[in-house]
Amino acid sequence: MPASPSTARALNDRLALRLLQQEGPLTAGQLKQLTGLSRPTVADLVDRLTASGLITVVGESGEQRRGPNARLYGIVADRAHLAALDVRTEGVFVLVSDLLGRVLAEASVPIGPDAGTGPAVEQAVAAVESAAKEAAAMAAPPREGVRGWGTLHTVGIGAPGLIDPATGDLRDSAGLPAWHRSLAVTLQDRLPGARVTVENETNLAALAEQREGAARDRDTFVLLWLGHGVGAAVVLDGTLRRGASGGTGEIGFLPVPGTAALPSATDCTGGFHSLTGAAAVTSLAAECGLPTPARPDGPGAAEAVRGAVAEVEKAGEGVPVPATGPRAAVPVARPGEGEVKRPGGTGVTAGAEPDATTASASGEAGPAARAPGIDPGRSSASESESESASESGSAGTGPVARGTVARPGSGAASVPATAPGRPGCGAPPQTGPGGAPPAALPGDLPAARFLRILADRIAVGAASVVAVLDPGCVVLGGEVGQAGGAVLAGLVEERLRRMSPLVTEVRASSLGGTAVLRGALLTARDRAQDELFAPPDRMGG
């Protein structure tokens, strides 16, 4: 059935805007070439998008012949601003960007555990309002006749806990601060013109890794979040899976060997969280005789892991790491066989370009592979297109949530002792996963023993996920996953090979603790563009 003229115009407008977003400023001639549309159709959509305030002339191309086709058109980034929030148990991180994702302002506010719901929400909202005002001051002068110029259009919130799939609201979860649930409602009241949405933090981290990070070339993978708590996000065939109640990835509650008890419906103590949460990681580091941070939170555990990796790499300890590309087999360097290192180290920081290997495997299509546009009257074509409170990540209900904001003057926190029966650095050699001998050998560096035992623990939970989902790829995310880098990822992959017949690649996050904010920003940008890139009668211009 042929597309109606109005539908064709809407599809073509959005296709042109996506191209301008991905490629940067383009001439009308370049838009004609990339979309396959006729010259009159391109001229019509350029006029339409310019009148709506979404694109403008930003310069001229290097062509010698001057004329309409030599003008460079670009998206008006200040047409709308976006806010992203990473909500943690003891504070909030905020950033505000323009429509293209360029960060204009940032803010963070610590919120003490004794703060009441009202004061805590007020502090968080004030941080958002302050960042929004700072961003507005940097915006280009408002365009006459275009409403909403430079205002906060969409707010994306990443928070620990279960998101009700029916309402999209954060559900009441034991152990989570009450102000978390009140924040979105208050923001919507204080910012009536904005669209406020909430998503589980680990799910947002997975979206960020898929779009900008370690899983750019994967349609199916599992993100295993390792930070203050643990969780998982599941992406199958390019789609994030949330489950019937929004709780897919509650891996912190997974019963595992090596703990003193079983988890309950309201407490993940005794589950996978007790082996790999930040408190367990810092406790393990202490048992191995390594320097331990004062606070057993996500950044503290990451500090311990990062230090161990640096010590192992400096000493040239034999640890398994990926050899070359993303899909390469992982050779295991055993004592006496030398060391194998992964080019590129532990990944890139947030916002940095991926390395050449990642980029070549990302599968991003070039201009020739893009879907053509639709001329009115032609045949129809489809439109182109937390650790939670329980620390169980994808949507938690337990007593603690993933990250924390360091509070000025906060004292050192005690590190819980290892649970009875849990293997520690001082314990006698035990049989490893799958009946294999333990990787730590007498005489190894304490840092190497620490990383090998930590990898054994992570592999226990990862193996359960692999056995059920067979994702082919597990990304170790969160602060700890990023800090462990290729070394920890290689160790976990080697153990999974011994535990499971299903071939699974293990990668280190390239975004780490910033992934939640990046995911919240990407989600807010997508939702804003879905509305702003709509047909003219819905643009409000």
**What would the 3-class secondary structure string for 356-403 be?**
HHHHHHCCCCCHHHCCCCCCCCCCCCCCCCCCCCCCCECCCCCCCCCC
- Compute the mean pLDDT over every residue in the chain, rounded to the nearest whole number: 76
More confident residue, 294 or 457: 457
Structural contact between residues 222 and 473, judged by C-beta atoms closer than 8 angstroms: yes
Q: Name beta bridge partners: 86.
A: 93, 158
Predicted pLDDT of residue 65? 53
Burial of 353 (C-beta count, 10 Å sphere; 0-12/13-18/19+): exposed
Output the pLDDT for position 471. Answer: 97
pLDDT of residue 406: 38
Is the per-residue pLDDT at 429 higher than 70?
no
Task: Give the confidence band of 83 by pLDDT, cuts at 50, 70, 90.
Answer: very high
Say if residues 390 and 253 touch (Cβ distance below 8 Å): yes
Per-residue model confidence (pLDDT) at position 165: 79
Separation of alpha carbons 419 and 426, rounded Å: 13
| Nearest alpha-carbon partner for 103 in 513, 515, 518 | 518
Within 8 A by CB and 6+ apart from 352, the residues are none
320: pLDDT confidence band, cut at 50, 70 and 90? low
pLDDT band for 368, please (50, 70, 90 cuts): very low
173 pLDDT higher than 80: no
Check: CB of residue 456 under 8 Å from CB of residue 424. Answer: no
CA dist list (Å): 297 to 163, 175, 211, 388, 402: 24, 16, 27, 13, 8
In Å, how far are 66, 68, 293, 298, 450 from 304, measured between CA atoms? 61, 59, 7, 10, 10
Lowest model confidence (mean pLDDT) among 21-30, 34-43, 175-184, 407-416: 407-416
Q: Residue 145 pLDDT > 80, yes or no?
A: no
Strand 55-60 relative to strand 71-75: parallel, antiparallel, unpaired? antiparallel
Question: In the prediction, which pLDDT does 144 show?
Answer: 55
Query: Would you say 240 and 206 are in contact if contact means Cβ atoms under 8 Å apart?
Result: yes
- Closest to 467 measured CA to CA, from 251, 313, 217: 251
Question: How many CB atoms lie under 10 A from the CB of residue 57?
Answer: 12
Percent of the chain at pLDDT > 70 equals 70
| More confidently predicted of 397 and 83 | 83
Whether 373 has a pLDDT exceeding 90, the answer reads no
Q: Which of these ranges, 230-244, 273-287, 378-392, has the smallest mean pLDDT?
A: 378-392
Proportion of the chain above pLDDT 90, given as a percent: 45
Beta bridge partners of 199: 158
In this predicted structure, the answer to whether residue 73 has a pLDDT above a threshold of 50 is yes
CB within 8 Å of 283: residues ≥ 6 apart: 296, 415, 416, 417, 418
Three-state SS string across 103-142, please?
Answer: EEEEEEEECCCCCCHHHHHHHHHHHHHHHHHHHHHHCCCC
CB 226 within 8 A of CB 205: no
| Residue 211 CA neighbour count, 13 Å, CB half | 21
Write down the H helix ranges in 191-277: 201-212, 273-276
Question: What gap in Å lies between CA 419 and CA 238, rounded to an integer?
Answer: 39
Contact at 8 Å (CB) between 72 and 54? no
What kind and span of H or E run contains 9?
A: helix 5-23
* Burial degree of 455 (CB within 10 A; 0-12, 13-18, 19+): buried
21 vs 213: CA distance, rounded Å: 19
Whether residue 350 has pLDDT greater than 60: no
Whole-angstrom CA distances from 227 to 53, 69, 90 are 42, 51, 14
Q: How far apart are CA 474 and CA 509, in angstroms?
A: 10
Nearest C-alpha neighbor of 482 from the set 517, 520, 451, 513: 513
Pairwise CA distance, residues 307 & 317, whole Å: 14
pLDDT of residue 450: 95
User: For residues 77 and 94, what is the distance between their CA atoms, to the nearest angstrom?
Assistant: 19
480 DSSP 8-state letter: H
d(CA 195, CA 141): 23
Question: What pLDDT, on the 0 to 100 scale, is given for residue 519?
Answer: 96
Q: Which residue has the higher pLDDT, 135 or 145?
A: 135
